[in-house]
Amino acid sequence: MASGSTLNRRPARRTSVKLVIAGGFGVGKTTFVSAISEIPPVNTDNWMTEASRTVDPLAVGDAKTTTTVAMDFGRITLAQDLVLYLFGTPGQARFWPMWDDLSRGASGAVVLVDTRRLAISFPAVNYFDADSDVPFVVAVNLFDGQQTHPLEEVRDALRLSGEVPLITCDARDRRSVAGALTAAVSHSLRHSGAGGRHGALAAR
């Protein structure tokens, strides 16, 4: 027979959190969302044409064949009490006006950075630093699993405040993505004065 304490136990209250995954064109946002989502991720990718490659240049050797033209969407559930909804922004300059809509109501953001093309990261960093009140972390995507620059050099190059967490992440790896999301949630909670919790995400 179940004990009285078990019978009277209420189910955990579920909290939903919206996180934005942002960054320049081709930094790995779609891969990031796809690596962690527990549902088939929704994306709005279109095939890249030869003409578009002159407008949206990639890093040398990048085999990317599609590009996001609206957003990516995914979901990850943590234990019984926390669900993250992930909204990936399009990276091309012509779609930047959509960032306000995608960031509305967000609790935090992860800005992905490609150190091979650091210049394309400035607009996203500047947006969350100067034009948005959404707390954010910056994650250096480890293409080919290699960290090519010390994080402090990246921080200096991006002119990133010491208050903004700077981490590394492999957007292809579920555990690594989970760690980046944990950092974003923790930073958001600290920013709001709620304290840190939900660290179990990194172990999923």
Residue spans per domain, the chain: 12-203
Q: Which residues is 155 bridged to in the sheet?
A: none
**What is the model's pLDDT at position 200?**
46
- pLDDT tens string, the chain, 204 residues long: the values are 555 555 555 656 789 999 999 999 889 999 999 999 999 988 754 433 443 444 445 455 554 445 444 589 999 997 688 999 999 998 777 777 889 999 999 999 999 999 999 999 999 999 999 999 999 999 999 987 889 899 999 999 999 999 999 999 999 999 999 999 999 999 999 988 754 444 445 444
Distance in angstroms (rounded) separating the CA atoms of residues 88 and 31: 10
CATH 3.40.50.300 fits 12-203, yes or no: yes
Look up tokens 């989970």; give the residue.
Answer: 178
Three-state DSSP string of 87-141: EECCCCHHHHHHHHHHHCCCCEEEEEECHHHHHHHHHHHHHHHHCCCCCEEEEEE
The verdict on pTM exceeding 0.75 is yes
Query: Residue 148: CA atoms inside 13 Å, Cβ hemisphere, count?
Result: 10
